[in-house]
Chain A
Amino acid sequence: MDVLALLADGFATSISPLNLLIVLIGVTVGIFIGAMPGLGSVNGVAIVLPLTFIVPPTSAIILLAAIYYGAMYGGAISSILLGIPGASTAVATTFDGRPMAQKGEAGLALIVAAVASFIGGTVSVVLFTAFAVPLADMALAFGPAEEFALVLLAFTTFVGLGGDDILKTIVMICLGLVLSTVGLDIISGEPRLIFGDMPGFYSGVSFLVLAIGVYGVGEVLYTIETSRNAPMVTPARLTFSELRAGLSKMTRMWRTMSLGSVLGFFVGILPAAGATPAALMSYGVAKSISKRPESFGRGNPEGVAAPETANNAASTGSLLPMLTLGIPGSPTTALLLGGMVMWGLTPGPMLFVEQKEFVWGLISSLYTANVAAVLVNIALIPVFVWALRMPFTVLCAMVLVLCIVGGYAPDQRMHDVWMIAGFGVAGYVLRKADYPLAPLVLALVLGPLMEKSFRQTMIAEHGDVTVFVDRPISAVFMAISVLLFLLPLIRLLRRSRARASNPAPAE
């Protein structure tokens, strides 16, 4: 088969000694970052991205993907041992992971989480391999009109399915898109929004600056406020007999885990959904099909396996639209996409034609990253338990230093460092006021593509906007966009009608 041959070529790249070493470093760093309360995959990728100049692009993205993966494994560690999720994606893991730890089964819970993550990750990578080529082939036929409609669709999923305040989501999308227009205009060459001729803005607002600001500095400020009291670390011991007992227990959970993997993968593909809702949904499904639903929430290992398979599967799923369509499915994949642009690659279906080595090197590295992550995770559990005792102020200080230096390094401009501080404080305040930050980052990354495709279409069609509904694929995207945009309104209408028919409201 064609795909298998390409995958085999990919393995030739990904199992080179350098890339194996990189995967190992990446998953270890990722698990560590994921295990730290407050820091998740997006923070890890944002902080490490500026440091990737040290290796060639293929290795750089393998490193970042390994961190992304590792963070998904690591999130479970603090969910189980501290009872607070290491990342938002591991929220559902606390439901049963914490009770298990309190019953003295912390070791078992950690094993279940690691193995479930491995299964979710592996199943979804296989699905990824199967879907990537057909999807990229389809996307090759896309013109600017389809591209514009697709980006619009990505934004409307945030409005329709994001679950945040709709007006605040719209504000954040607009803000991100406007910020993306700062700098020299691609078509007319004129400088735009340089705020009274400030030279620092000529080259635009880099997504990296926004990401480090929001996910580095902003996250640290937010975490300082929310977790000032050092939580108790539950001791966990691991023996080989426990490992064996855990594995035999897991063979009985195949149904939950396979459902979680498939569900996670497909939820992960949706731009606004991602790993957190996937994990929560998978937990809900596992509970509803269980013969003993009442045991969930009281330390049922299945309640750890379900979310952990799903969140790892979702993280792979969100890579699919990023790599094949050039539309990221989550903030973390938006950063990976931004990184690819920075290394001189054009994301989208053409990658599968022009950069085979890069694409298949990355895909095959997901297989090796999974194996590495499960081994590192189980082998180094005592180290991560010890690391969780590290005072939070030490971690904060290190992260802030890395934010400053990492923000300066790519372009060597103090302007960027000031912007990082500004975005950090602004991001912290906006997040406290319930403004969602993921649409902001995604809008900044997708803004240039959206504007370019819109203007190209308009020039080609002499300002005729009906082209977006005349072309079939673009029309489908547009129709779904409109539907997603109207979804909150429909919900609101139904709620008010229900209230009208029921004169005594519950509130």
Chain B
Amino acid sequence: MLAADRIIALALMGLSLCFMIYALRLPIGWEPETGPGAGAFPFWLGLGMLLASGAILARSFVVRPHSDETFIPDADAIPQILGVIGLLLGAIALIPLLGAYIALMLFLLAYLRIIGGHGWVLTGILTLTTPVFLFFFFEVTLKILLPKGITEPLFYPLYAMFF
């Protein structure tokens, strides 16, 4: 917990520094006509964040309130969490290429079959019905087009039918 606490505090300090540097591109002081400059709010709040996260880091060397706790109580959960994150990022990366429908079907297939360990029947039903539901809900009802990528031509007959 202690190491994790310090790493997170450092990361937050870095993030606030990054905010402050970007805010400095704009006026952060008093502007004659328009009051506080556009960069003032993000700059000074970024400074507040830097000081508070710096205090958290400094405190971790003085008192150790949670030193008996571990950051990851159940080490067996790590592969599963990383697997879910990996699948999620993979699916998002595939959406512009293969389209939302194929990418999400691959996501569901991998998730339910590998991580969930479910049988082919349940996996198959959910993998096939979810895109149908999404199509009717978003594209037909809400008229919001989801990305199709290279699968776009396959949808021309469907567009002709529903629009």
Contacts and interface: CB of A to CB of B under 8 A. Distances in A.
Interface of A: 51, 53-54, 167-168, 170-171, 174-175, 177-178, 181, 185, 187-188, 190, 192-195, 217, 220-221, 224-225, 228, 391, 393-394, 396-398, 400-401, 404-405, 408-409, 412, 414, 417-418, 421, 424-425, 428-430, 432-435, 451, 454-455, 458-459, 463
B115 A174 contact: no
Interface string B1-31: 1001100100010011011001100100010
Instruction: Give the interface SS of chain A, mostly helix, strand, loop or mixed.
Output: helix
B41 A451 contact: yes
B22 A177 contact: no
A418 to B, nearest CB: 6
A174 B147 contact: no
Nearest to A447: B41
A397 B38 contact: no
B26 A412 contact: no
B52 A404 contact: no
A174 B30 contact: no
Contacts of B92: 404, 414, 417-418, 421
A193 B38 contact: no
Given A405-B104, A417-B95, A421-B88, 13 more contacts: A51-B142, A171-B56, A174-B49, A187-B34, A194-B22, A224-B77, A224-B84, A398-B130, A404-B104, A405-B100, A408-B146, A414-B92, A451-B41
Given A193-B22, A433-B4, A463 B30 contact: yes
B133 to A, nearest CB: 10
A432 B8 CA distance: 11
B147 A171 contact: no
B138 A409 contact: yes
B42 to A, nearest CB: 4
Contacts of B76: 228
Nearest to A462: B35
Contact of B80 (A174, A224, A400, A463): A224
B36 A53 contact: no
Nearest to A456: B35
A434 B66 contact: yes
A31 to B, nearest CB: 21
B112 A397 contact: yes
Interface string B43-60: 001101100110110010
B34 A459 contact: yes
Contact of B116 (A167, A393, A434): A393
A458 to B, nearest CB: 4
Given A393-B115, A412-B145, A400 B56 contact: no
B59 A228 contact: no
A429 B4 CA distance: 9
Contact of B88 (A53, A181, A400): A400
Contact of B142 (A54, A175, A192): A54
A167 B12 CA distance: 12
Contacts of A455: 34-36, 41
B8 A192 contact: no
A168 B56 contact: yes
Interface residues of B, number: 68
B36 A174 contact: no
Contacts of B107: 397, 400-401
Contact of A167 (B30, B55, B74): B55
A458 B88 contact: no
B45 A178 contact: yes
A474 B145 CA distance: 47
Nearest to A184: B38
B128 interface: no
Contacts of A190: 26, 38
B30 A188 contact: no
B122 interface: yes
Contacts of A428: 81
B120 interface: no
Contacts of A424: 88
B49 A458 contact: no
B142 A53 contact: yes
Contacts of B144: 53, 409, 412
Nearest to B134: A405
A463 B30 CA distance: 8
B22 A458 contact: no
Contacts of A170: 48-49, 52
A53 B137 CA distance: 11
Contacts of B35: 187, 455, 458-459, 463
A59 B60 CA distance: 49
Contact of B42 (A193, A404, A425, A463): A193
B12 A175 contact: yes
11 contacts: A167-B59, A174-B49, A181-B41, A400-B111, A401-B104, A404-B91, A414-B96, A417-B92, A432-B72, A455-B35, A455-B41
Contact of B16 (A174, A221, A463): A174
B124 interface: no
A264 to B, nearest CB: 31
Interface string B99-132: 0100010011001100111100010001000100
B55 A192 contact: no
A414 B95 contact: yes
